[in-house]
Structure 1
Amino acid sequence: MKISIYLLLVLLCAVPTIHAATVTVSSLSALQTAINNAAPGDIIILANGVYTASTDITISKQGTAASPITIQAQTTGGAEINGTAGINIVSPAKYIIIKGFKFTFNASQATMASGTSFIRWTRNIFQNPGEGEDLLLNGNDHEVDYNTFQHKDALGRFIAVRGSGSQIAQRLHIHHNYFFDQQPQSGNGAETVQFGLSGYSLSSSNSIFEYNLFEECDGENELLSVKSSAVTVRYNTIRNCPAQFTLRHGNHCLVYGNYFINTPGIRIFGDDHIIFSNHFENCSPAINIGNGDGEVADGDALTVHDRPDRTVIVFNTLVNNTTNYTQSGRTNGLGATNTTFSNNIIQGGGPAASIAGPYTGAVWSNNIVYQANGAGSMPSGSYTVVNPLLARDATGTFHLQAGSPAIDAATGTYSAVTVDMDGQSRSGTKDIGADEVGTGPVIAQILSTSMVGYNGSDPSECLPVVASSDDGNVPGNVLDNDLNTRWSASGDGQWIQFCLNSATTVTGVQIAFYNGTTRTSSFDILTSTDGANWSTKASNLVSSGTSLNLETFSITSTTAKYVRIVGHGNSVNAWNSYTEVHIQIASSLTARLMEEGTASLKGGLNSYPNPFHTTNTITFELGKDSHVQLSVFDVMGRQVALLVNGVVKSGVHRVPFDGKGLPVGMYWIKLVREGKSVMKQIVKE
């Protein structure tokens, strides 16, 4: 199989390189001065140490998508800021990265104002004393990732999301954070994360909250409290938390692929939510459909417990829950209307359903109930009593075994249900419950502390291709040698990025454009050696508008590990869409490019046989005992196997990899040791 990672781009005009500055400071006053003087692309480093803030560090500067302004600690967690003041990001700040700090200043001192945008908080530790929020999010298009929020013992939230007027903050991406140790409070206002307020509840956020881990969070009865519309909550793990995830106000939220373990599960108010492919174990309750005390659609106040209307609860797996599916009683309660409860598996625990309030227009169908304490309120004919053949897999979660009566047994059409709890695709006749038996890549599982927080391993740091976003046409499609597939994302500044795994000489890029014969596309080419500092090698490039095949765009030879293409839409609309991308380098791409990395391995990372048909053996040698993560990724950058994740002793190690069921094609094995990684390309024939 031919490896297709080259580069594309012909310079239409000479573009000077942006020479960004790196400034190291050792006081907060010097930090403020450096921020005030910052230009796009600058990196401001605060030397390790403990600093006391008595006045806010204010940020109003603007970077760019290609050249953000980075404000970071010398080493992750090495620069601590305490005191009575903190960080205040004000309009018109945009494209700012705040990285690697330990914040121990008072709560309510990390704030962002309306009018800010594209601010990223990454690899920070928040441990803020006193009442108030550790981080207040306002403005649009912000990212909060790989942070640790811990040890909160007063009223307030780890994160609070707000808005402007009646509009909630939009297009936020909150992911891979670790929320740990929130002590119980006696008053209201101690949610772990509060996403909005009642006044914002009818506005759509279109935000994603994913891959976050909650442990021992017990501020109040609500854990993640969503008070906004159109929020996607997926692939999170909530474990050993006495507080409950609540859709408190708002409509049209998607909740899927989450793992609820020993926690009160989810409580639902509002309209048109879809709850699917979630795993509930040892919860009490697992799923609680609210009993409304008002109806916002009829003019009741936004602060009421809005009667749940048209909630769809399908394809979930509930195991050994004290209470499975329930609705509590309420004096003069309005109940819930037109709720669908279908294609779920309930095994063990209390009664399958316990409905105590009005429950009109309900649809019950095709559920499996096994070893539960009766069906309870679930009507006859809406369930089958049969062993679903669930068993724990290596991740500790219950999956369907061969011969399960749940396989290919789902009924009904649910267009929103496209993935299972592992992130695997669902198509054709679906399986009942949260698990879909298949061979697709596994991209979600119960999270561990090694996967999240300020020191979590980021598997996307050097995946072959990643992108700022997509519309379902994923970035991996540009590396599959198929002009009928594509990556697509709408908006000026959306990008697709390629990692070569080691620095090499890049000479150009080749791109095949979707609808390339009917429109021209505009874009820039940037390169980087570290993935943080970018140099623009060509800007305002335009495709020919006459070809569907690869077009070549050359650049002055440069050393790079990362190549990024930043799109500016096309001559018809704002979409950026490429069917293939090849990165051109000075010499042919060889196995060396995939093998070279920064992890210190005595014998390298090897695989035999390569190519392989079904199984192969991956070998590596360690000079000392180390924590190792060994994974396999497909060409789309999705993890298909996690082979090792733990402390491994020194010496030679041979790890079998069973690729049975995976499609033929190119894959990457990646070994992470002490925060450094090495990759090797393998091919299944």
Structure 2
Amino acid sequence: MKQLIKPFLCLPGNLKACLLFSILCLSGHLHAATINVSSLSALQTAINNAAPGDVIVLANGTYSASTDITISKQGTATQPITIAAQSIGGAVISGTAGFNIVSPARYIVIRGFKFTFNASQATMASGTSFCRWTQNVFETPGEGENLLINGNDHEVDYNTFQHKNALGRFIAMRGSGSQICQRIHIHHNYFLDHNPQTGNGAESVQVGLSGYSLSSSNSIIEHNLFEDCEGENELVSIKASAVTFRYNTIRNCPAHLTLRHGNFNVIYGNYFINTPGVRIFGDDHKIFSNHFENCNPAINVGNGDGEVADGDALTVHDRPDRVLIAFNTLVNNPANIIQAGRTNGLGATAITIANNIVQGGGAAATIAGPYTGAVWSGNMLYNTNGDGDMPSSGYTTANPLLARDATGTFHLQSGSPAIGAATGSYPSVTTDMDGQPRTSSLEIGADEVSGAPVIARILTAAMVGPNAAGNPGTSCQPVSASADDGNVPANVLDGDLNTRWSANGDGQWIQFCLNNTVSVSSVQIAFYNGNTRTSTFDILTSNDGAAWTNASTGRVSSGTSLNLETFTFTARQAKYVRILGHGNSVNAWNSYTEVNIPTGSARQDVAAIKNSAAPEMNLNTSPNPFSEQATIHFTLPDAGRTRLAVYDMNGKAIAVLINAQLSAGQYTVPFRSDKAPAGMYLLELQHNGRSCTKKLQKL
């Protein structure tokens, strides 16, 4: 039976409705749609007609591109235009052309393809913004870049870049005029097998060029794995200012991370293993909380041949000035901290090398060039081949009691002389190598003993690349963010309203992994300065961390409270929750002091583990209450990483009694509290991801 459709008449009484209907019809869609295509020409047509929220799916198969697939459409923050393969890796695009995202494109997602077309055919032009490449494989032959980035606020995540055997880079970031592209977020990618080249210009990642070096990028490169990359002597070349490189693992790459041009870059929480480590030129950089193992050398302070601040060309090796190198752990490196000689070299000035652990390997420091105004303080040496050129006033000699855990990372053990022994004040050092916040009485080296969530570790191939995103077998970060200003995401889970996460700009986000897909119906947020200004934000949810749906939009805080405020929405199943910020009533900053996701937050998952784990670990104390000393008893059912700590009721750690790899069995540990005032305390035992707690009362 045929369905009759009445004509829509544009009569005088409904001209406004008629106009709206006409606009919707001309746009091609009355609402977001899924469009399935099976050829590149159909793909281009669908892209040309796309509306915000559309998902364009290319059927699995192999396609050869001879003309560019050009994208100039605009999605929105909550309704991006997605161009996806039918299944991850199922659609292969080869040929002499590729994807070309051009101005004014924004909020475009390209997901799940394998690209084998020629190099330099995946590009984003100036004037584009908020585009994302996710879960793709780039294996593009020939000279040129596998992915060229211009424009601002782009994201490149969970891709694999592999098997490059020509000049060019896996990723190159450029800009417009003298301004480098801004707020680029590159994370959870796998960079594999970059074969050595004979010419210059084969870094795996290049951020900028000398002409952009004095412009700030405010970009973040984090949680990426580099293995077997050796295109040239520079693995990652940073030629811009204000770039953050953190929580990456570089393993078996005979090439170094180079701060080649630019100033104010921050390098922290990275794992350098069997690689030349970091080479430094330029001014006011901060290198802290990094793990260096079997690196030759680990840290190379450049010997400048020019001084840009005095008018020398941007292309010189700019003399390093006012660089902070602190709180790093260096183990078994043939060369630890060096500065090579240079004919007529300018050397480096005002370099601070403080609170680093140097264990094993060659001399602690070898300095050949001019090195004026240097500060050496609080370093700890153990079993090195001498102190070299490190002055005796700049270090102590002691066994830091480092032990390698199951991830391969060196952590401080209970009783380490490095715990609480750091000297000096370094407010910019906010995070350790595990992504845990650093608090007062800092530890020497890269590890801060902490009970805060661990958000970084030595990466494996299973944790990055297309198959890691949303993989139920892959543990996810409890909290992550699009950016931060040094007030890190983990601060919103520390139970302290005096710490915060902050990021500047409309569209910056912070997200939470709930470990499992659960029902969520609200978010609780405490806002920084929440009693003097309102903040605007959206709430999004996802089951895989790639495809997001709106839970609630246009939410506004009360402007009257510093405490947690609850924002409800219709219940839905989700593994990830994202808060998308739109600034506040005073400026464009997004800043939250605490966040809780009821019925599934990382914090509540930990609480559930505590309750279920308590009986089998049999944590007890005697006497309780106590006056001077209590004896703690517990049982470990299996071997593993164990941490026993005492906290005051504000959540501040006052004593770490054990932080070590222990065998199964029964343990007795004394706890003296001579300096602690009378009151109630919390004892926490963590073991192999489980935890249990016990209250202690001191009389």
Same fold per TM (> 0.5)? yes
Whether the 8 Å contact between 2:437 and 2:491 is mirrored in structure 1 is no
1:547–1:290 Cα change, 3 Å: closer
1:172–1:188 Cα change, 3 Å: same
Following superposition, the deviation at residue 276 of structure 1 comes to: 1.4
1:101–1:669 Cα change, 3 Å: farther
Within a 5 Å distance, the mapping from 1:240-639 to structure 2 comes to: 240-456=252-468, 468-469=482-483, 488-495=502-509, 501-502=516-517, 504=519, 506=521, 515=529, 518-524=532-538, 536=550, 539-543=553-557, 545=559, 557=570, 559-561=572-574, 565-577=579-591, 610=612, 612=614, 615=617
Give distance in 2, aligned partners of 1:335 and 1:323: 19
1:50 aligns to 2:62 (yes or no): yes
Partner deviation per Cα, 1:584-610 (whole Å, 9 max, x = no partner): 9xxxx599xx99xxxxxxxxxx96952
Give distance in 2, aligned partners of 1:511 and 1:218: 45
Give distance in 2, aligned partners of 1:347 and 1:512: 42
Partner of 2:210: 198
Partner deviation per Cα, 1:163-216 (whole Å, 9 max, x = no partner): 111111111111111111111111111111111100011111111111111111
Give distance in 2, aligned partners of 1:479 and 1:276: 23
Partner of 1:187: 199
Q: Secondary structure at the match of 1:612?
A: helix
Q: Secondary structure at the match of 2:130?
A: strand
1:258–1:28 Cα change, 3 Å: same
Whether the 8 Å contact between 1:18 and 1:536 is mirrored in structure 2 is no
Partner of 2:4: none
Following superposition, the deviation at residue 443 of structure 1 comes to: 2.0
Following superposition, the deviation at residue 437 of structure 1 comes to: 2.9
Whether the 8 Å contact between 1:527 and 1:564 is mirrored in structure 2 is yes
Give distance in 2, aligned partners of 1:406 and 1:68: 49
Following superposition, the deviation at residue 47 of structure 1 comes to: 0.9
Give distance in 2, aligned partners of 1:342 and 1:240: 27
Partner deviation per Cα, 1:380-401 (whole Å, 9 max, x = no partner): 3322333332222222232222
Whether the 8 Å contact between 1:503 and 1:529 is mirrored in structure 2 is no
Q: Secondary structure at the match of 2:390?
A: coil
Give distance in 2, aligned partners of 1:294 and 1:373: 33
Give distance in 1, aligned partners of 2:93 and 2:277: 36
1:128–1:664 Cα change, 3 Å: farther
1:159 aligns to 2:171 (yes or no): yes
Q: Secondary structure at the match of 2:82?
A: strand
Q: Find 1:227's aligned residue among 239, 243, 266.
A: 239
Q: Secondary structure at the match of 2:211?
A: helix
1:232–1:498 Cα change, 3 Å: closer
Within a 5 Å distance, the mapping from 1:109-128 to structure 2 comes to: 109-128=121-140
Following superposition, the deviation at residue 420 of structure 1 comes to: 1.9
Matched letter for residue 612 of structure 1: A
Give distance in 1, aligned partners of 2:135 and 2:143: 23
Following superposition, the deviation at residue 371 of structure 1 comes to: 2.2
Following superposition, the deviation at residue 529 of structure 1 comes to: 6.5
Partner deviation per Cα, 1:510-563 (whole Å, 9 max, x = no partner): 7665555544444445566766555556654555555667767666x5645366
Q: Secondary structure at the match of 1:381?
A: helix
TM-score between both structures, scaled by the size of structure 1? 0.79
1:298–1:394 Cα change, 3 Å: same
* Greater Cα offset, 284-293 or 422-431: 422-431
Matched letter for residue 445 of structure 1: R
Whether the 8 Å contact between 1:423 and 1:444 is mirrored in structure 2 is yes
1:269–1:88 Cα change, 3 Å: same
Matched letter for residue 20 of structure 1: A
Partner deviation per Cα, 1:325-357 (whole Å, 9 max, x = no partner): 111111111111111122222222222222111
| Count of residues in correspondence between the two structures | 605
Give distance in 1, aligned partners of 2:563 and 2:270: 41
Q: Secondary structure at the match of 2:88?
A: coil
Q: Find 2:223's aligned residue among 211, 214, 219.
A: 211
TM-score between both structures, scaled by the size of structure 2? 0.78
Give distance in 2, aligned partners of 1:385 and 1:54: 64
Matched letter for residue 109 of structure 1: Q
Following superposition, the deviation at residue 372 of structure 1 comes to: 2.0
Following superposition, the deviation at residue 27 of structure 1 comes to: 0.7
Matched letter for residue 213 of structure 2: S
Following superposition, the deviation at residue 474 of structure 1 comes to: 6.2
Give distance in 2, aligned partners of 1:492 and 1:43: 24
Q: Secondary structure at the match of 2:439?
A: coil
Partner deviation per Cα, 1:47-78 (whole Å, 9 max, x = no partner): 11111010011111111111111111111111
Structure 2: tracts of 5 or more residues without a match: 1-23, 620-642, 644-663, 672-680, 695-699
Partner of 1:8: none
Structure 1: tracts of 5 or more residues without a match: 1-15, 596-605, 618-631, 633-654, 671-680
Matched letter for residue 23 of structure 1: I
Matched letter for residue 610 of structure 1: S
- Indicate the structure whose relative CO is greater, using CA pairs within 8 Å and at least 6 residues apart: 1
Structure with max Cα Rg: 2
Whether the 8 Å contact between 1:276 and 1:434 is mirrored in structure 2 is yes
Q: Secondary structure at the match of 1:181?
A: strand
Whether the 8 Å contact between 1:450 and 1:457 is mirrored in structure 2 is no
Give distance in 2, aligned partners of 1:229 and 1:260: 22
1:348–1:303 Cα change, 3 Å: same
Q: Secondary structure at the match of 1:368?
A: strand
Give distance in 1, aligned partners of 2:595 and 2:452: 23
* Greater Cα offset, 210-219 or 380-389: 380-389
Matched letter for residue 429 of structure 2: V
Give distance in 2, aligned partners of 1:267 and 1:565: 37
Whether the 8 Å contact between 2:37 and 2:57 is mirrored in structure 1 is yes
Following superposition, the deviation at residue 469 of structure 1 comes to: 4.5
Matched letter for residue 281 of structure 2: F
1:37–1:668 Cα change, 3 Å: farther
Following superposition, the deviation at residue 493 of structure 1 comes to: 3.3
| Percent of aligned pairs sharing the same letter | 71
Coordinate RMSD, CA, aligned: 3.8
Whether the 8 Å contact between 2:118 and 2:142 is mirrored in structure 1 is yes
1:395–1:511 Cα change, 3 Å: closer
1:447–1:331 Cα change, 3 Å: same
1:288–1:612 Cα change, 3 Å: same
1:514–1:223 Cα change, 3 Å: closer
Whether the 8 Å contact between 2:254 and 2:275 is mirrored in structure 1 is yes
1:666–1:567 Cα change, 3 Å: farther
Following superposition, the deviation at residue 256 of structure 1 comes to: 1.3
Matched letter for residue 280 of structure 1: F
1:80–1:476 Cα change, 3 Å: same
Partner of 1:103: 115
